[in-house]
Amino acid sequence: MKLPSPVTALLFLVASGYGQDGVLTLDNLHNGTFSGEGAGRIRWKQDGSGYTTVEPGTDGGQDIVSHDPKTGSKSILVPAARLIPPGQDRPLQIADYAWSSSGDRLLVFTDTRRVWRYHTRGDYWVVHLKTGEMRRLGIGLERHRLQFAKFSPDGTRVAFVHKSDIYVEHLVDGRILRLTKNGSETLINGTFDWVYEEEWGLRDGFRWSPDGKSIAFWQIDSSGVREFVLIDNTSGLYPQLRRYQYPKVGEQNPSARVGVISADGGEAIWMKVGGDTRDNYIARMEWAASSGELILQHVNRLQNTIRVLLADAATGETQEVFRDTDSTWVEVCDDVHWLNDGARFTWVSERDGWRHVYIVSRDGKKVACVTPGEYDMVSVLRVDDAGGWIYGIASPNDATQRFLYRVPLAGGEPERLTPKGGGVHSYQLSHDARWAVHTWSTLGEPPQVEVVGLPTHEATRSLVSNKRLRERLAKVDRGVSELFQVDIDGVAVDGWMIKPPHFDPKKKWPLLVYVYGEPAGQTVQDKWGGYWMWHLMLAQRGYVIMSLDNRGTPAPRGRAWRKAVYGQIGVLASQDQAAAVRAAQDRWDWIDKERVGVWGWSGGGSMTLNALFRYPGLYHMGMAIAFIANQRYYDTIYQERYMGLPSTNQAGFRDGSPITHAKNLEGDLLLVYGTGDDNCHYQNCEALVNELVKHNKPFSMLSYPNRTHSISEGPGTRKHLFMSLTDFLSRRLPAGPR
C-alpha cells in the first residue's frame, strides 16, 4: 500500500494554515528561541533567616545575594568586586560555594574540570569576609585538581582531595597536611572509581566528624578490575587510547573500605564490615549523629540485602542494627535522618509492598512504620524533629504526578500541602521547614518557581514565571497533549500523547513512540521536559507522539509494579510496551497500523531494539541511540541489581539482550552512537552491526567521534543529531494523514 511522502506532510502544514511564527524548526529549537529560565543555585541559611542566590554582578562577575522569604527584600552579601583575586582584574566565576559555620569565611569553587559526568575538580578559594583576604587552597599542588573541599565544623581548616589523596589545610597559617599518602590511579582515597560514581551516585567520598577531630573516608581499590579502552582517532595523526577500570557483568569488582583518620594525621582505623570486599559494596556512609560512630550501608553483590552497621570510629568494630532484604533487589536509603539526639533514625523500605518510612531505634530493636497505607513515599525532604513532622513527596492516586505531603512522626494519615490540581511539584525546604522553594510544571507547560510558606503553602514571591517562553509557546500551533491509560490484561499502563494541530480523527495518522522503560527512569509524568519541543515539532509535521510506562519503571505504584521485571530486563518491559501499543490501536482507530515507529536513548535505545526485533509485525521503524545490545557488556552494579549474575541467570541475560533477536529485524533501523561513550560502550554498536550483517539485515548507522553518552560535545553536534533523526523519520515513516 502506498504511503504518504514527505511532500504530503509539507502540504499538510500549508493546508492547515500554519503561520511562520507558529512553525517549529530545528533552527529555532536550537538557537535559544524556546529556552526556559531557571531559579539558579538557591541555598537556605542554617539560621532560618532566608536564602542566598548567585546573580550577575559587575565586570562579568557574580554577586552572592541574601533574600528574605517573607518580604522578598534582598541585599548583596558578597559583591563580585570582593571576589577578584590578588593581581587579577576579573572576579572569580562561582561554580559552587559554601560558608564556614561562623559565616565569616566563604569557600568558592571555580575554574572547574569535568570528571566523567560532572565538573568535580578545579580550584578553591577561601575569602575572609571581614578582612577581604583571598587565598587559593592547595598552593604547591597541581592546579585544577582539588575536589570536594569542605570547611571543618569550626571553620578553621578545609579538607579536600587532590589526586586520590586527602589533605587538610589550616587557614590561619596555610599549613597543608597530607592525611593519606598512597593515592594512585587505582587506589583512590576520598572519591570514587567509575562504577561507584555512576551506579551508586557517589562522588564526594569523605566526611568531617561533628567535632572536627577526624575524617571518615572511602578507599576504593580498583586494581585487578579489567580495563576498557576508548579510542580517539581524531585528536592527532595517530590514535590516542584512554584506559579506565570498568567492571562488566560477572567480572571482578573494585573493593571498597571505610577508614577514619585523625585530622592531625596518623594511621587510619578501618571499619570491620566483614565479607569479601570485592563481592560486597559499602554504598552509603555517614557519621551516626556523634563523633564516635559511623552508620554504613553494606550491600551484597546480588543487592538483595542491606546490612545497616554502626561502626566504632576508634576501633573499627561494627554491629548490625538493621537489615533490609528483598527477593529481587533492595534500594539503598538516602533518607536516613537522626531523631532524639541520635536515639532513632528514619529508614525507607518496600518491605510491606509499598515504599514507606520507618523509624528504627539506634540498637535496632524497635522498628515502626510511620507512613502506613497503600501508597509510596517517593522521597523524604525534611524531618522536623521539634515539630513532629516528616515532609516528603508522594502521589497516592496518580503515578504521573508528585505533591508535597507531611506525616506525623508518631504515625498517621498523610496531609497534602500542595494545593489542588495536577502536575509534578518539587520542593527545596528550609532547615526549619517553615519555607520552601516550590517548582512545578504540567504536561506541555513550562516550570514556574516560587517561594511558599509552610504548611499553608501561601506564595510570597515568584522567582521564575517563564513568561517569555510561555508567550512564544502561545504562538506555536499545537495540537492536544493529554495523559491517558490503556489496559493490558488487567494492568493499567500510563501514557501521554501529542496530537498534530488540526487533528482529524477520521483519518489515519502515523505513530511514533518515545520509550525508556527501564528501572532507572519514568517517561510518563505530568510535567514539562525531556524532548518535548522536538516532539511538538514532529507533531506539527503530522505525527502522533506517545510515550508509555511499562512495569518495572520507577513509578509510585508499589513494589510489585517496580520489581516485576527482575531477572527479565528487556523481556517483560518490551512485552508491556507492545501490548500497550496494540491496546492503543484497538482504542483509537485513527492510528495507522502500517506506520508505527519507536525511538529511545540509552535503556530506551535498548528497548527500541527489542521492540523492532521482538515485535517486527508491530513496529516498522526505530531509532536507537547509545544502547546496550548485549547485557553482558554493561557494568556490574546496574545490570546485576536487576538481573542477578549471568552464571545463575544465563537465559535471562540471553533473552533480554536485543542482539539475540537481531535476526528478526524487518523494519527500518537507525543506530546512533558516540564513539567516546564511557557508559554504554561503542562496542555494543559494533557487535550489533556484526550480527545484523551476519543475517543480511539492512540498517542505517551514524557515529559521532569522541562524543560521550550525551552526544553533546562539539559545536553543532546536538542540532546535527536531531536533524539526522528528523530526516530518517520523515523518509522511513512518512508523516501526515491519509
What DSSP letter does each residue of 223-286 carry, written as one string? TTSPEEEEEE-SSSSS-EEEEEE--BTTSPPPEEEEEEEETT--PPEEP---S-TTSEEEEEEE
Kindly state the DSSP code that residue 72 receives in the 8-state scheme.
-
DSSP helix/strand/coil, 553: coil
**Cell 548567585 belongs to residue:** 54
Three-point CA angle 304, 308, 311, nearest 5° = 140
Cα-Cα-Cα-Cα torsion 345, 346, 350, 353, nearest 10 degrees, comes to: 110
Cα-Cα-Cα-Cα torsion 284, 290, 291, 292, nearest 10 degrees, comes to: -90
pTM over 0.85: yes
User: 29-54 burial string, b = 16+ CB within 10 Å, else e?
Assistant: bbeeebebbebeeebbbeeeebbbbb
Distances (CA, A) of 121 to 124, 146, 148, 630: 9, 5, 8, 33
Q: How far is CA 473 from the centre of its chain?
A: 27
pLDDT of residue 47: 84
Which residue ranges of the chain lie beneath pLDDT 50? Answer: 1-19
419 preceded by a cis bond (ω within 30 of 0): no
At 22, the amino acid letter reads G
Give me 288's grid cell: 551516626
Residues of the chain with CATH 3.40.50.1820: 6-24+476-732
At 179, the amino acid letter reads L
Give me 78's grid cell: 558578597
The residues, any chain, with a CB within 8 Å of residue 458's CB and separated by 6 or more, are 452
- The distance between the two most distant Cα atoms of the chain, rounded to a whole number of Å, is 82
pLDDT of residue 19: 44
Sign of CA dihedral 22, 23, 28, 34: positive
d(CA 410, CA 315): 35
d(CA 202, CA 190): 10
Nearest Cα neighbor of 732 from 620, 650, 630, 634 is 620
Nearest Cα neighbor of 572 from 648, 493, 627 is 493
Residues of the chain with CATH 2.140.10.30: 182-332
**Cell 564490615 belongs to residue:** 273
The residues, any chain, with a CB within 8 Å of residue 68's CB and separated by 6 or more, are 49, 50, 74
Give me 440's grid cell: 512545578
pLDDT of residue 77: 94
Query: Taking a C-beta distance cutoff of 8 angstroms, is the pair 442, 423 a contact?
Result: yes
Query: Taking a C-beta distance cutoff of 8 angstroms, is the pair 510, 543 a contact?
Result: yes
d(CA 350, CA 308): 16
Query: Taking a C-beta distance cutoff of 8 angstroms, is the pair 180, 221 a contact?
Result: no
Kindly state the DSSP code that residue 62 receives in the 8-state scheme.
E
pLDDT of residue 21: 66
Q: What are phi and psi of 449, to 5 degrees?
A: -135, 135
Give me 532's grid cell: 518535548
Backbone dihedral region for residue 143 (phi beyond 0: left; psi -120 to 50: alpha; all else: beta): beta
The fourth-level CATH superfamily of domain 6-24+476-732 is Alpha/Beta hydrolase fold, catalytic domain (3.40.50.1820)
Query: Taking a C-beta distance cutoff of 8 angstroms, is the pair 199, 254 a contact?
Result: no
pLDDT of residue 2: 35
> For domain 182-332, which architecture applies?
8 Propeller (2.140)
Distances (CA, A) of 546 to 24, 68, 194, 402, 476: 19, 43, 34, 21, 20
**Cell 565569616 belongs to residue:** 104
Query: Taking a C-beta distance cutoff of 8 angstroms, is the pair 503, 537 a contact?
Result: no
